[in-house]
Structure 1
């Protein structure tokens, strides 16, 4: 029920035209990982109490699986795995639940789904306004869980509401109005109260089924889903979504997703209209300073990939600087910690397929090396700093690696990790960019570093692509491909060199009278009459490959 309405209509009306489209590698990997996770959960649960389960044969045709599910429910089965509910031709509903659990207290069945993402996070001890309900895997006993905090996953709740309506249709729904989710950690069941989302689900479903049946028109708009949607670059009713939006200067190009929805509510549908905004910000705007959205629109029209917030750009520099970038594979672990010191790239890695305890060995070696560089700098009376780009991933795997491999040689304690990442020597270049630039085309390293003149050796370099390279490199699907290992190392090396290039561009060690970053237009360049689109021409901005961005 959550997703792009236009994609839903295009899939329904023109899905056959995608038969020759190669599935996105990232989508395929997530689908395969989800299937493996479900199989692991299934095997664990059924092995613990084989006599308590009815397993619906997945090889049966859909109609036969639905009939088998209904029979199992009517027979009072306690636990059903692989349930498929009967399709509803009148409403268009179809779907199934990994688990149906009989509500022994109130009758009916409670849907429990298995998902390949985190649904809770650990909570540090202390008071909290809300404790999510969780239950043991093998025994339904929902209780407030003070050790967890909820991760918002609206799709999960919408799916549970969908399953409840299908169970309700056949008189099989538990009156408790509860549903469950087994997440990536698969150690507890997160329990949701479905009652609070049913009205929203009903509205969304009525809208979506009208879209599928061609009763509700849709038009393209840029949303996060566009990154992996085939209709973004492929047309079926004329232009592709990307072309359609660009030709119309659609406002979602600079204010995607819910931002564009807010603007449409105020009559703003084009980038020019946003650039010409006058007066106060919309009262329902909850996406940061509204004047930055206006500047973003003006910069897009001027062809400027960055806008300086300040006349002078600065980045924390140190006598000894280390650039760090990690590579992980889904949620299985971090197999590579790449570093750059004094121009020398040094990787710490394992090629044993994840998950593996050898990951702890490589992580311990990385941490020991990094701390030795810091200690040597301090002993010599020099300053030290380690740099990454968007520290979220690095912080996550620093903490998780310290927890998972505690006691192994070189592995730090969680407290040691916290002391480092919370200190002034751990510098996030993403934060430096965010604080000092407005980025009309995005703030990712591969969007920003080319403005500083940096380019990657591999034109396909990217997080999604690296997942496919890794599978080949370690031999998940056949003999290990040594060429892909080289490809991953070069990609990781380019990432750490990109952060160095970006830092030197923003705050060079030897400033010149006219630094390169000063060529980037500033806010003053777009402080124009708000009733007109940008008329002043900022200085050209050098792009990767030696060309310029026309302004």
Structure 2
């Protein structure tokens, strides 16, 4: 078992280990495959750059060797005192079940032994202005190991990275090769620093977690399905092997994780709440260990699931900021390489600003500059005509990220704004996040994504496969990463992006005109239907009212 099994679903781990033959021929989800390919490319770039800077300091283990040969080569390099080892694979431990390797094994220059350093394709820190703080993460230059508190960085917690480092430390420790410093490092996407983790406080949790997971693999501990984010890409979610599929089993027993997935379900089970009906009929004070937002909302979510309501109104009257001139905006990006498409909708006309040069490309700066210039021109013309203006997106996190990143990367190019200009716009009232408007005014039992919410307003995407993960595959074909460019996929991406901006417009109009009438409010959930096993209505169970603070639109009536 490697460190990946430490973070994720225990039941999936059991099924994978017990029925490996059932996975033969099942391909990875396209999004998973693309992320894996991107991670491999990133690690190759880091390896080539670091080794080229000091070739005499490195021992590179041949990745083409068999696993046992790689492990032998790694142990020989460690015994010889190699300063830096790339691609080290540690011997598999037959008694404990551990296996694993580290992109870098760095010999501790002060204390001896080796520090494991892993290379990942996600962010591990964010830049920040130097400021006094109670905690500064420790970082080191990638080329010269010298860990120091770093006031220029703030930490992005990644438990999976920490568990993997603890796993590698225990494997090194077995052979007397672990540095006494009890640290490990991570090189993230930007490859600018090594984030250094103190492994001492992590080892007890790691040991407990590993003991649990290896017992699951060996069939010594029982497991049961429970809905977690991982289910979206799991081959067992809709595929039965030990009876019905995970999804069918959860629906059959009306499992509470269907409305309170992940750690929320674990908390609820600790209070005897096993089913959606248990949660819907909760009476008494909120659980003291509930740390997932207002507990009353979890109860309402359960009641809404039972009645089949896709949304519940928190407020008496739904409101959305409106303007005389309204522009809808949606971007498409590829991994961390850049944003290749900024789609807009104004007065019913869709305008894309796009580059089809494969990312990364300088032409991205041209398309971004043209988009920003057009958007600011529309805003200025509205102001000159005495009209109000607003631009709308759905979940501004991605748009904000690529607005700032593009402004930094393409500074000085025609039409490209400064970072301060971007900040002034996104922090102002004219940049409206429809996701926030939905979150503030609705409880969403089925999720808050645009693909979940817009259909309630009556919108449908033209492409039945429309989605962020699928668009990554379309993009690879559209720009010719793996062959000649496929122009039909460019059309597909443009239509997908156009549908996204049209969806935000339809959602806004619906929230303004019809949502008050079509969506039940909190006061409608004081009773829950008592259903027979065949789904027919037996009657209604009267439930206690929810707290008055739940919504400005009123409390649940009993």
Alignment of 1:29-48 (within 5 A): 29-48=34-53
Aligned to 1:544: none
Matched, 1:220 2:225: yes
Cα deviation, 1:272-316, whole Å, max 9, x if unaligned, reads 000000011100001011011000000000000001112211101
CA distance in 2, matches of 1:533, 1:454: 33
Is 1:135–1:190's contact at 8 Å kept on the other side of the alignment?
Answer: yes
CA distance in 2, matches of 1:283, 1:307: 25
Aligned to 2:475: 470
Alignment of 1:178-327 (within 5 A): 178-327=183-332
Q: What is the CA-CA distance between 1:61 and the residue it aligns to? A: 0.7
From 62, 70, 73, the counterpart of 1:57: 62
CA distance in 2, matches of 1:486, 1:519: 35
Q: What is the CA-CA distance between 1:23 and the residue it aligns to? A: 1.6
CA distance in 1, matches of 2:203, 2:540: 45
Aligned to 1:511: none
Aligned to 1:2: 7
Aligned to 1:93: 98
Aligned to 2:550: none
Is 1:72–1:80's contact at 8 Å kept on the other side of the alignment?
Answer: yes
Alignment of 1:275-424 (within 5 A): 275-424=280-429
CA distance in 2, matches of 1:11, 1:72: 34
Q: What is the CA-CA distance between 1:129 and the residue it aligns to? A: 2.0
Q: What is the CA-CA distance between 1:535 and the residue it aligns to? A: 7.1
CA distance in 2, matches of 1:127, 1:337: 38
Is 2:306–2:528's contact at 8 Å kept on the other side of the alignment?
Answer: no
Is 2:358–2:481's contact at 8 Å kept on the other side of the alignment?
Answer: yes
**RMSD across aligned C-alpha pairs, in angstroms?**
1.3
CA distance in 1, matches of 2:345, 2:20: 47
Aligned to 1:433: 438
SS at match of 1:192: strand
Moved more, 209-218 or 527-536: 527-536
From 505, 510, 527, the counterpart of 1:505: 510
Alignment of 1:82-231 (within 5 A): 82-231=87-236
CA distance in 1, matches of 2:245, 2:381: 56
Is 1:301–1:534's contact at 8 Å kept on the other side of the alignment?
Answer: no
* Structure 2 unmatched ranges of 5 or more: 1-5, 531-538, 544-558
Q: What is the CA-CA distance between 1:520 and the residue it aligns to? A: 1.3
Q: What is the CA-CA distance between 1:519 and the residue it aligns to? A: 1.6
Aligned to 1:518: 517
Per the alignment, do residues 357 and 249 of structure 1 end up closer, same or farther by CA in structure 2, a change over 3 Å counting?
same
Is 2:313–2:521's contact at 8 Å kept on the other side of the alignment?
Answer: yes
Is 1:337–1:348's contact at 8 Å kept on the other side of the alignment?
Answer: yes
* Structure 1 unmatched ranges of 5 or more: 509-514, 537-551
Q: What is the CA-CA distance between 1:33 and the residue it aligns to? A: 0.4
* Count of equivalent residues: 530
Is 2:304–2:525's contact at 8 Å kept on the other side of the alignment?
Answer: yes
Is 2:307–2:528's contact at 8 Å kept on the other side of the alignment?
Answer: no
Cα deviation, 1:7-65, whole Å, max 9, x if unaligned, reads 10010011221112222100000010010000000000001011111011111111111
Q: What is the CA-CA distance between 1:235 and the residue it aligns to? A: 1.0
Q: What is the CA-CA distance between 1:517 and the residue it aligns to? A: 4.3
SS at match of 1:283: coil
Aligned to 1:527: 526
SS at match of 1:455: coil
Q: What is the CA-CA distance between 1:533 and the residue it aligns to? A: 6.5
Is 1:278–1:530's contact at 8 Å kept on the other side of the alignment?
Answer: no
Is 2:318–2:512's contact at 8 Å kept on the other side of the alignment?
Answer: yes
